[in-house]
Amino acid sequence: MTYKFMLFNPNREKSETTKFSLTKEEEGGVDLVELDVINSTNECHKSLFGRIYGSKKANFSGLKNTMSLIWPTKEPFSVRELGHNLFQFVFKSLGDKKMVFRSRTWTFDNQFLILKEWFDGMEISSEEFNQVEVWVQIWNLPCNWISKETGQRIGSLFSSCSDIHIPEGGSSRGRHITLLVSILLDKPLMRGTFIKLGSHSV
- Confirm if 59 and 68 have CB atoms less than 8 A apart: no
- Confirm if 113 and 103 have CB atoms less than 8 A apart: no
Do the domains at 34-120 and 132-201 have one common CATH topology?
yes
Q: Compute the distance between CA of residue 194 and CA of residue 133 in angstroms, rounded to an integer.
A: 23
Domain coordinates of the chain in residue numbers? 34-120, 132-201
Per-residue pLDDT at 147:
92
CATH, domain 34-120, list 1.10.3720.10, 3.30.70.330, 3.20.20.70, 3.40.50.720: 3.30.70.330
N residues, the chain: 202
Its pTM stands at 0.72
pLDDT(70) > 80: yes
Q: Which one, of 47, 42, 129, lies nearest residue 88 by Cα? A: 47
Q: What residues pair up with 118 in beta bridges, in sequence order?
A: none
Weakest-pLDDT range from 12-16, 30-34, 101-105: 12-16
- Confirm if 173 and 167 have CB atoms less than 8 A apart: yes
pLDDT(74) > 90: yes
Q: Compute the distance between CA of residue 51 and CA of residue 103 in angstroms, rounded to an integer.
A: 16
Q: Are strands 111-117 and 106-108 parallel, antiparallel or unpaired?
A: antiparallel
Query: SS3 for 71?
Result: coil
Confidence band of 197 (pLDDT split at 50, 70, 90): confident
Q: What residues pair up with 87 in beta bridges, in sequence order?
A: 50, 81
Q: Compute the distance between CA of residue 13 and CA of residue 15 in angstroms, rounded to an integer.
A: 5
What is the topology classification, in CATH, of domain 132-201?
Alpha-Beta Plaits (3.30.70)
Confidence band of 44 (pLDDT split at 50, 70, 90): very high
Quick: pLDDT tens for 150-178: 999 999 999 899 899 998 765 555 678 99
Confidence band of 123 (pLDDT split at 50, 70, 90): confident
The single-letter code of the amino acid at 182 is: S
Three-class DSSP labels, 116-174: EECCCCCCCCHHHCCEEEEEEEECCCCHHHCCHHHHHHHHCCCCEEEEEECCCCCCCCC
